[in-house]
Homo-oligomer: A and B are copies of this chain.
Amino acid sequence: MQKKVRIIDIAKMAGVSKGTVDRVLHNRGNVSETARIAIEHVLDEVNYKPNIHVSAISLKRSYKIIVTTPEVSLGAYWESIHNGIRHALEEYENVKIELQIFTYNQYDIYSCRQTFEKIAGFEMDALIIGPTFPEETINLCKKMDDRDIPYIFVDSTIDSTAPLAFYSADHYVCGFMMAKLITSIIPDHANIAIFQAVRTGDKSANTTVLRKKGFTDYLENNRCSNLILTIPFSVTEPEDNEMYLSRLFQSQREVPAIVVLNSRGNFIADYLETNHIKGVRMICMDLTAANVEALKKGQIDYLIGQEPEYQGFSSMKTLLEYLIFKSPVKKQNYVQLDIITRENVVFYKRFNNTVY
């Protein structure tokens, strides 16, 4: 147990004053080559870790951080991510942070484009992005790269970008696992209906594509002969869904299994309930309030959780520690894929009853 090394200790060892050490530690410039090398030499020797508590007190400057994600609705997926972000800020209540949030319609590529173009012009120290459309996201990221502004992804990551880090589920594995779970509770060869969201201006989002690929790959690898029916599902024009659903269930085919690749599983569950359709097994994404209710009622058999609070929390925390303490950052962060049933759902914590 070696004694704590302080800035003043390093200064003495390097034969300079604490101010110079501080300038080196924080890359503030105005340090002679000689002094810098001497200090860096000492820093290599000793394992200096700033006392985070003292740092927290002494911090004077403020940071401006922008967050952009799909729109937040009550009890839904993106609300959990935003809760996580807010929770991280509470941990750093003494740090002066100016937070600006811009949301876009995740079912409309034009809304996303417009929002991202607006954001690109703003002053900021860092950016958190919840991406949906690859092309638009890449454009925004390029501008950030040019301006040397760090950004972190939540929910999913986008190729051809250079984020400081990302927090995301492995959506391919997610789809793979959904296939394994649903096939374990339905008869062999049973038909499976897959619901996918319809979007304006773009066929489909990042995450859904990957999940679908994982799903079909599982069936292929395991030589499952289930017939897969892909059904469109519109969030923006919900009146269309009645039609899709009634067409599905009025056909001759039995549909004993439903898979929803996004967090809107409760919509389908509601339809089944109002139309008294029984005996359908369902697997869906995310512990939204409505999904949890449907799970508890037995309408949904499995929910897959992807730690949205943790994603939001970690992305903000990572960003702040990077900005303030220049802490090293782990780039790839794949979050847990929690398998939730009506039995274990009550133990899954949110920030209202626990603290990460």
Contacts and interface: CB of A to CB of B under 8 A. Distances in A.
B51 A341 contact: no
A336 B344 contact: yes
A57 interface: yes
A156 B184 CA distance: 32
A284 to B, nearest CB: 16
Contact of A339 (B57, B169, B341, B346): B341
A340 B177 CA distance: 11
Nearest to A348: B336
Contact of A170 (B56, B57, B347, B354): B347
A315 to B, nearest CB: 13
B334 A339 contact: no
A203 interface: no
Contacts of A334: 346-347
Interface in A306-356: 330, 333-341, 343-344, 346-349, 353-354, 356
A346 B337 CA distance: 10
Nearest to A349: B336
A124 interface: no
Contacts of A356: 356
A153 interface: no
Contact of A51 (B94, B184, B333, B346): B94
A52 B355 CA distance: 15
A280 B332 CA distance: 36
A190 to B, nearest CB: 14
Contacts of A94: 51, 53
A344 B349 contact: no
Contacts of A354: 333
A127 B94 CA distance: 33
Given A53-B94, A54-B53, A94-B53, A344 B339 contact: yes
Contacts of A338: 336, 338-339, 344
A335 B346 CA distance: 9
Nearest to A177: B343
B343 A180 contact: yes
Interface in A270-295: none
Contacts of A31: none
Nearest to A57: B53
Interface string A179-197: 0100011000000000000
Given A336-B347, A338-B338, 4 more contacts: A173-B347, A334-B346, A334-B347, A335-B347
Interface of A: 51-54, 56-57, 94, 169-170, 173, 176-177, 180, 184-185, 330, 333-341, 343-344, 346-349, 353-354, 356
Q: Which 4 pairs between the two chains have the least Cβ-Cβ distance? A: A53-B53, A339-B339, A53-B56, A337-B344
